[in-house]
């Protein structure tokens, strides 16, 4: 019997390994779980930290097209689950009728939402100081302290350090520019068709203590879908930050998504 695929799309500063627990959880429920990395992404976190030049040219256009081809390659349309910029891409794809359902977790901003730029609270190396030597570096890294302060702010320092060591990698400056994080206008690809009535169901998820993509930004995205006849839902998790897919509470989020899929008739084995 054919099984429904699920394609997981990770966000900035995380490796594809960040979905390891989710992939195992979904596979145990009968889904086919896929965690494809970004173009140029090495197989391991260690390799990414020592040699990540392959990511330097990755912007939102390349990333969106990369996952559109992956999702469109299956005989059975996959469920798309994305975190951060992956959540933006998930919305873009489902709005273009690519995939049968989408889940956008702490998604980077789409369309004309101007509440705040994603990652607005984070001072990126090379910005705000024109003479900084890192301004021309095509890759942007987070320190362990930055990761705990902005990304994993709801967990202990010890847990944050473990998450940092296992999952965190540099991210392309070009992508951050496309997302509007460096003071420039967002890319024209940072969009989703919020009025498409024929798309599959969409679930938006936020952490109410998220400092990088605030809960208010996800709520603003949800409001944009208000006139669509397609199913759109919002789930807010209290006391959760941007690390909600990898920290000690990941299973609560994953199991909520599994329940939501079941409620919408999206099963591991299609009828």
* Residue among 118, 127, 104 at smallest CA distance from 12: 118
What is the pLDDT at residue 115?
A: 52
Domain count, the chain: 1
What is the pLDDT at residue 124?
A: 52
The answer to the question of residue 270 being in a domain is no
pLDDT of residue 196 exceeding 60, the answer is yes
Domain that holds residue 178: 5-263
Q: How far apart are CA 106 and CA 109, in angstroms?
A: 9
Higher pLDDT, 122 or 109: 109
What is the pLDDT at residue 173?
A: 93
pLDDT of residue 271 exceeding 80, the answer is no
The answer to the question of residue 271 being in a domain is no
The answer to the question of residue 269 being in a domain is no
What mean pLDDT comes out for the span 234-256? 98
CATH code: domain of residue 78: 3.40.50.1820
What mean pLDDT comes out for the span 196-223? 95
pLDDT of residue 117 exceeding 80, the answer is no
Q: What is the mean pLDDT of the chain?
A: 90
Beta carbons within 8 Å of 97's beta carbon, 6+ residues apart: 196, 198, 199, 200
| β-strand pairing of 139-140 with 171-172 | antiparallel
């Amino acid at each position: 019997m054919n099984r429904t695929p699920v394609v997981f799309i990770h966000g900035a500063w995380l490796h594809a390994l960040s979905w390891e627990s989710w992939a195992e959880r979904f596979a145990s429920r009968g889904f086919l779980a896929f965690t494809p990395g970004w173009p140029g992404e090495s197989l391991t976190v260690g390799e990414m930290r020592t040699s990540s030049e392959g990511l330097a040219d990755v912007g939102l256009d390349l990333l969106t097209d990369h996952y559109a081809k992956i999702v469109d390659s299956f005989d059975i349309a996959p469920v798309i689950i994305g975190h951060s910029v992956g959540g933006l891409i998930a919305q873009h794809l489902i709005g273009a009728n690519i995939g049968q359902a989408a889940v956008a977790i702490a998604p980077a901003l789409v369309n004309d939402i101007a509440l705040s730029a994603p990652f607005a609270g984070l001072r990126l190396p090379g910005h705000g100081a024109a003479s900084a030597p890192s301004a021309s570096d095509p890759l942007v890294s987070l320190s362990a302290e930055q990761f705990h302060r902005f990304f994993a702010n709801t967990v202990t320092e010890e847990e944050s350090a473990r998450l940092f060591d296992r999952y965190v990698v540099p991210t392309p400056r070009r992508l951050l520019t496309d997302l509007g994080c460096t003071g420039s206008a967002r890319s024209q690809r940072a969009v989703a068709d919020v009025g498409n009535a024929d798309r599959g169901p969409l679930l938006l998820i936020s952490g109410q203590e998220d400092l990088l993509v605030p809960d208010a930004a996800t709520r603003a995205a949800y409001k944009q879908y208000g006139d669509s006849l397609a199913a759109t839902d919002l789930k807010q998790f209290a006391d959760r930050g941007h690390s909600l897919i990898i920290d000690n509470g990941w299973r609560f989020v994953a199991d909520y998504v599994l329940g939501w899929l079941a409620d919408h008739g999206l099963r591991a084995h299609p009828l």
